[in-house]
Amino acid sequence: MSRIGKLPIELSDKVNVDLSWNEIKVKWPLWELSYVFSDKVTVLKEDNSIVVKPVNDEAKALWGTTRAIISNMVIWVTEGYKKTLEINWVGYKFEVAGDKLILSIGYSHKVEMKVPAWLKAQLDDKAKNVLHISWIDKQLVWEFASKVRAKKKPEPYKGKGIKYADEHMRRKAGKTGGK
């Protein structure tokens, strides 16, 4: 039995859900997402919730996955997703200029990255070394954040590089740490 699949998906009053034969559309005043699910699962709308049920025993593999995707769609249209990056070291910094992200990360030149049109990249007001990337699609937000992080991964000895704000980095002592 799927523990995730059993849980109903709670809906707020502003979210509209349209169910057709094997397609679900989740609408918010600004966004609309749709998903075509397998005919091996049944999706029902009951009051202010959505329930996903398997048709037979073979469909149990799709049961929790379908429920998780629909749940993420509801979160996407209501709240959106945000990933925060930090840059650490002297002289390292983020700059946002229009649709470009400019990274000063210790090379002889500045690294420029084009921010996709749908993503929102902005610097934090209080801290200069923090960048927020947000949009409604979790996959695209995390993908772009991982591309930015890959330009200068954090290293464990001095801690310099780009890391996620919620990432814990284990520091190493170095070659003189054992003496």
Please state, in angstroms and rounded to a whole number, the distance separating the CA atoms of residues 112 and 107: 12
What pLDDT is recorded for position 83?
96
What is the block-wise mean pLDDT of the chain (179 residues), using blocks of 10 residues?
83 89 87 89 92 88 90 87 94 93 95 94 92 90 96 92 93 76
Please state, in angstroms and rounded to a whole number, the distance separating the CA atoms of residues 141 and 172: 30
The structure tokens listed for 79 are: 């709240």
Type of residue found at 49: S
Closest CA to 33 of 135, 146, 179, 176: 135
Please state, in angstroms and rounded to a whole number, the distance separating the CA atoms of residues 5 and 26: 19
30 CB-contact burial (10 Å; exposed 0-12 / middle 13-18 / buried 19+): exposed
What pLDDT is recorded for position 18?
92
* SS3 category, 85: strand
Contact 86, 124 (CB under 8 A): no
With a threshold of 0.85, does the pTM exceed it? no
What pLDDT is recorded for position 177?
61
Kind and range of the H or E element at 67? helix 60-78
